[in-house]
A and B are shown apart, each in its own frame.
Chain A
Amino acid sequence: AQSVTQLGSHVSVSEGALVLLRCNYSSSVPPYLFWYVQYPNQGLQLLLKYTSAATLVKGINGFEAEFKKSETSFHLTKPSAHMSDAAEYFCAVSDSGGGADGLTFGKGTHLIIQP
């Protein structure tokens, strides 16, 4: 069965600094991986997804993630943090194309941006 581990329930960075949110996965088949963001009192918004086309995936709001099979990782980065990036971030995995079996989510990482 697939699983996702997000390292760090809370990450704090200064405005303008690099954002790095870690995600490691376990899957018995080539995975499809996703990053979602949840702003306070809102639903989930898709940031980006990996579907085996390219290992470096660019998403919205300046975020990107790199798929590393050897490390079973899919870490999310952004070169320069903005105050509006403060939110909860979830990494998710699906064994099928887009989640035909639903998604398995990590526990989430709360990103705090210090002014």
Chain B
Amino acid sequence: SAVISQKPSRDICQRGTSLTIQCQVDSQVTMMFWYRQQPGQSLTLIATANQGSEATYESGFVIDKFPISRPNLTFSTLTVSNMSPEDSSIYLCSGLQGEGETQYFGPGTRLLVL
């Protein structure tokens, strides 16, 4: 199974700034995704990270706010731009791999915006 790591694991940021979160997979995955988990809530899909092309965003999420890159099959970044306290969440990346195409998750990045 794929092992997914994220950097940073947590951060405290000032409003108006931006943070880039990195997601690294130890082996090739067919697809990568980014999710948000707001405090006490479930996970919501932000976007599908497409290799070499623009990400596919879900309703309510836009590229200007959450630019995503995926330069190769094992790496992706999510930037949270112009942050506000409402962006305080856990951001998780996942990768699709293997028999039956199982989705594996990273440990998440805990973001607090002051």
Binding site for B on A (CB under 8 A): 34, 36, 42-46, 49, 51, 90, 97-108
1/0 per residue B1-38: CB within 8 Å of A? 00010000000000000000000000000110101000
How many pairs of residues, A versus B, come closer than 8 Å at their CB atoms?
58
Inter-chain contact B100/A49, CB cutoff 8 Å: yes
Task: State the interface size on chain B (CB cutoff 8 A).
Answer: 24
Inter-chain contact A107/B101, CB cutoff 8 Å: no
Inter-chain contact A97/B100, CB cutoff 8 Å: yes
Inter-chain contact A102/B48, CB cutoff 8 Å: yes
Inter-chain contact A46/B102, CB cutoff 8 Å: yes
Residues of B within 8 A of A103 (CB): 33, 43, 45, 103
Known: A43-B92, A43-B106. 12 other contacts (CB 8 A): A43-B107, A90-B43, A97-B100, A97-B101, A99-B101, A99-B103, A102-B45, A102-B48, A103-B33, A103-B45, A105-B43, A106-B42
Which of A44, A51, A102, A106 interacts with B105 by CB under 8 Å?
A44
A75 to B91, CA, bound (A): 27
Least CB separation from A97: chain B residue: B101
